[in-house]
């Protein structure tokens, strides 16, 4: 089981969001929140440049070390 502390580890970090389509779109996002949903980890993100926020599965994100 994932603890609240484990979920919060990436909050505030910058990650690369990969959005699939006819071409792969990649851009930097800031992690705002995390949740466990149906056994998968989701992150709420907002773009580094621009506005808005949305939830994405962990598999769509690449975290910087």
Residues 6+ apart with CB under 8 A from 35: 7, 41, 42, 44, 55
Q: Where are the domains of the chain?
A: 4-63
Q: Is the pLDDT of residue 1 over 60?
A: no
Q: Which distant-in-sequence residues (6+ apart) come within 8 Å of 13 by Cβ? A: 30, 31, 63, 64
CATH architecture of 4-63: Roll (2.30)
Convert the pLDDT of each residue in 17-50 to its tens digit. Answer: 988 876 788 899 999 999 998 989 999 999 999 9
């Amino acid at each position: 089981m994932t603890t609240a502390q484990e979920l919060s580890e990436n909050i505030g970090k910058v990650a690369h969001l990969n959005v699939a389509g006819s071409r792969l779109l990649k851009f930097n996002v800031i992690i705002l929140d995390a949740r466990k949903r149906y056994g998968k980890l989701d992150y709420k993100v907002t773009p580094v440049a621009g506005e808005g926020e949305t939830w994405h599965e962990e598999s769509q994100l690449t975290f910087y070390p």
